[in-house]
Amino acid sequence: MTTQATIVDQQQAYPPSAVVIDRPTDDTLDFIAACEEIRRRHRRDLEDQIEWATTRLVHRLNRQRRRLHAGTLRQAACQEVVYARRRVADQELAGMQPASQLVQDAERHDDAELYGRREHALAVLLDDTADSYVYMAPQVLADRESACRQQASLVDEQEQRSRQLGQLRGVRGVLCARRVRQLNSELAALDRQLVEVQVEIAHQEALLDVIQAADAKRSAWLTQHQAILHQGAAAVIVLTRRLLALANPPGCTRPVSAVDLDHPMGHDPLALPATNGGTASPSAGEDPRVASAAAARTATPSPAPAPRQD
């Protein structure tokens, strides 16, 4: 009645250290569809970040019994997301470990020059070409492995039905004929389920191909602008040192361990203590200055780029 389906993708998972695709997606349409889905997931993740930031602002203002226009709150939330992305980019620059000669050269320049170099490097890291979807790989791999397990289970069921059907061959009788028809029907249903699961596995493979292609594109882009990135990395290191020195004068009893380069003081004085590198203090959620800060950020033009929706 039916031929046993071949198991797609014998390998259950890839090494966690890197996304390794042992075969590319051959179907161009499948690859294009996977690209659209990855971009859609990325946009949804960005929108979720903005919604979460908006919810935090609303909760904070509700505790203070204050109200702001929904559009103003969303603009403030967008700014929070933008600054969060810039801080992550600063961390990536600081981790590039530029040559000591570049750091020594940066020490000889003033803050204005160093901030200019930092902005050039951030423009490279926050460019559309530098978008990375590697953070989606664990979920895609988990979905793929789940589909592979489902496929293996279906194949086992198919083998059992096939053995039962083989045992009934040559046996006569009404009950035997009824059982044969039932087994054939079950095998046909298993075939349909296997086709669906194998299509899903192929789709997960296409998603992994898109993630790997985007990562390769990002690596090539960063390599192309390596000089700008290393200069920006040296600038970030030197600016961080200077701001830390200002934030921790001799005899400081509450040392600051981290600074925010987007603020001239090294930290936002109206932000939550956990975000400005300081030690614990009374909750900023109960401080009415926080609401003013949210509104002020939206009223004051910022050099930071708006979050991309693609």
**Domain range annotation of the chain:** 30-299
Question: How far apart are alpha carbons 151 and 168 in whole angstroms?
Answer: 26
- Which pLDDT score is estimated for 271? 59
- Which pLDDT score is estimated for 177? 78
Of 154, 163, 157, the residue nearest 193 (C-alpha): 154
- Which pLDDT score is estimated for 133? 92
- Which pLDDT score is estimated for 223? 92
- Which pLDDT score is estimated for 262? 86
- pTM of structure: 0.67
- Which pLDDT score is estimated for 298? 38
Q: How far is CA 53 from CA 102, 116, 131, in A?
A: 37, 29, 21
Of 74, 75, 115, 78, the residue nearest 266 (C-alpha): 115
- Which pLDDT score is estimated for 269? 58
- Which pLDDT score is estimated for 268? 63
* Residues of the chain with confidence (pLDDT) below 70: 1-26, 170, 172-174, 265-310
